[in-house]
Amino acid sequence: MRTLKFLLRKEFLQIFRDKLILRMILALPVIQLILLPYAATYEIKNITLSVVDNDHSEYSRKLINNFTSSGYFQLVDYSKTYADALDQVEKDKADLIVEIPKGFERDLIRDNETIVLFAANAISGQTAGLAVAYANTILRDFNNDVRIQWTQQSRLNAIPVIDITSSNWFNPQMDYKLFIVPGVLALLVTLVGFLMASLNIVKEKEIGTIEQLNVSPIKKYQFILSKLIPFWVLGFVVLIIGFIISLILYGIYPEGSFWVGSLFAGIYLIALLGFGLLTSIYADTQQQAMFIAYFFMLIFILLGGLFSPIENMPDWAQYLTYINPVRYLIEAMRMIVLKGSGFWDLRYHFLIVTGFAIVFNGLAIWNYKKTI
């Protein structure tokens, strides 16, 4: 116990001595948590629109008006031809082309049917999909208005309609920030903890101080603990600061228990740091450790469900996410913060990260050789 205390004092002193590092560990995540969630929004308000109106009728003008007043679209120009509009898309000036055919109004009233063309820049399928979905909604509403105007008398032979109502639970305002902030925070805590831990032991190797530790009568578990605890504290501090920022800046107050969240993050950090230390033990130089850390971090992040939902992945990728600790933290944070899930709802998550913690740290202790 006394040995551990001395070792810990040494580690903490080392961390606090390097003011630049300490400042970066605290400042970089804080700045990013303050700024980046505002960048993450799919709620599209500025779809740029190029209209080709070949009809110039009352109805075509009304329809265009519905587009511009909807709040989703910004009319950038009226193009004379479809080719001109395509030119606008090519230059990135327009995202969506709406082409109204000649005889639009006449066909609609006389032949009961007409057609409107939507062409979207689909390099980003997501944006294109949303743009076309909004466009169709506007078209449908417009169409309903037209119908009401012309079919008032024949109300009696109405057709059966399935009335679809939809409600959105846990985030009725559909605020993307509620979703992204817990995820970004999870990621920042992970980055800080993992980077610090993965560089630590290898640094002693590179500088040569590890030899002194090796000849001293320290037990392996004491050594690993002395490396683990300081970074655990650091990671936890970042987490708490993150919670405070989410509360003050984004008004995110966890629906569920703060303590369950902290307990989960605490166990998660032990697991993650264990993995970091393992990286550090295997690497020969800091440079190598850093590349390995980068490799794992990126895969963890990509398969963590922060930017794209895990359910949408193919089966093989979903299986890979089961061994990704980051996935569990992001999921658990979102569940606790937004849905108010409790300990029992998260029992499997708890079990799995505890398993990770035991395996990674066990391997770290086992693989750390006191000889060079």
Do 335 and 344 meet the contact criterion of CB atoms below 8 Å apart? no
- The region of 64-72, 243-251, 268-276, 311-319 touching another protein under the rule CB under 8 A is 311-319
> Considering the complex, what minimum distance in angstroms separates the CB of residue 133 from another protein?
6
58 counts as binding another protein under rule CB under 8 A = no
Q: Across the strands, what pairs with 75?
A: 49
Q: Using alpha carbons, select from 4, 361, 332 the residue that is nearest to residue 182.
A: 332
From residue 276 to residue 295, the character string flagging contacts with another protein as x (rule: CB under 8 A) and all else as - is -------xxxxxx-xxxxxx
* Residue 364 binds another protein, judged by CB under 8 A: no
| Residue placing its CB nearer to another protein in the complex, 240 or 317 | 317
The DSSP annotation for 203-262 comes to HHHHHTTHHHHHHTT--HHHHHHHHHHHHHHHHHHHHHHHHHHHHHHH----SS-HHHHH
Beta carbon of residue 267, minimum distance to another protein (angstroms, whole number): 18
Tokens representing residue 158 in the block = 């109405």
Nearer to another protein, 23 or 219 (CB): 23
From residue 18 to residue 57, the character string flagging contacts with another protein as x (rule: CB under 8 A) and all else as - is x-xx--xx--xx--x--xx-xxxxxxxxx-x---------
The one-letter amino acid code at 300 reads F
Tokens found for residue 304: 């963590």
Exactly one of 109, 215, 240, 244 binds another protein (CB under 8 A); that residue is 109
CA angle, 255 then 260 then 265, to 5° = 110
Report the residue number, 190 or 220, with the smaller CB distance to another protein. 190
3-state secondary structure of 95: coil
CB neighbour list of residue 146: distance below 8 Å, 6 or more residues apart: 59, 108
> What is each CA distance from 25 to 18, 28, 235, 296, in whole angstroms?
11, 6, 9, 20
In angstroms, what is the minimal distance from the CB of 130 to another protein? 8
By CB under 8 A, the residues from 84 to 103 that bind another protein are 86, 89-92
Q: How far is it, in rounded angstroms, from Cα 330 to Cα 326?
A: 6
Site for another protein in 160-179 (CB under 8 A): 160-172, 174-176, 178-179
Which residues within the stretch 216-275 sit at the binding site for another protein (CB under 8 A)? none
Site for another protein (CB under 8 A): how many residues?
Answer: 123
- Return the closest-CA partner of residue 52 out of 79, 89, 88: 79
Among 188, 189, 267, 365, the residue binding another protein under the rule CB under 8 A is: 188
The nearer residue to another protein, 2 or 316, going by C-beta atoms, is: 316
Tell me which of 65, 124, 216, 367 binds another protein, using CB under 8 A: 124
Which region, judged by CB under 8 A, interacts with another protein, from 50-58, 240-248, 259-267, 329-337?
329-337
Give the shortest CB-214-to-another protein separation in angstroms. 20
Q: How far apart are CB 191 and another protein at their closest, in Å? A: 5
Smallest gap from residue 199 Cβ to another protein (A) = 5
335 by DSSP, 3-state: which?
Answer: helix
Write down the least CB distance from residue 103 to another protein, Å.
13
Give the closest residue to 364 by CA, choosing from 286, 274, 290, 293.
Answer: 274
Q: What is the 3-state secondary structure of 252-276?
A: CCCCCCHHHHHHHHHHHHHHHHHHH
For another protein, the binding residue among 298, 323, 351, 358 (CB under 8 A) is 298
Verify binding: residue 191, another protein, rule CB under 8 A: yes
Q: Indicate whether 133 belongs to the interface with another protein (CB under 8 A).
A: yes
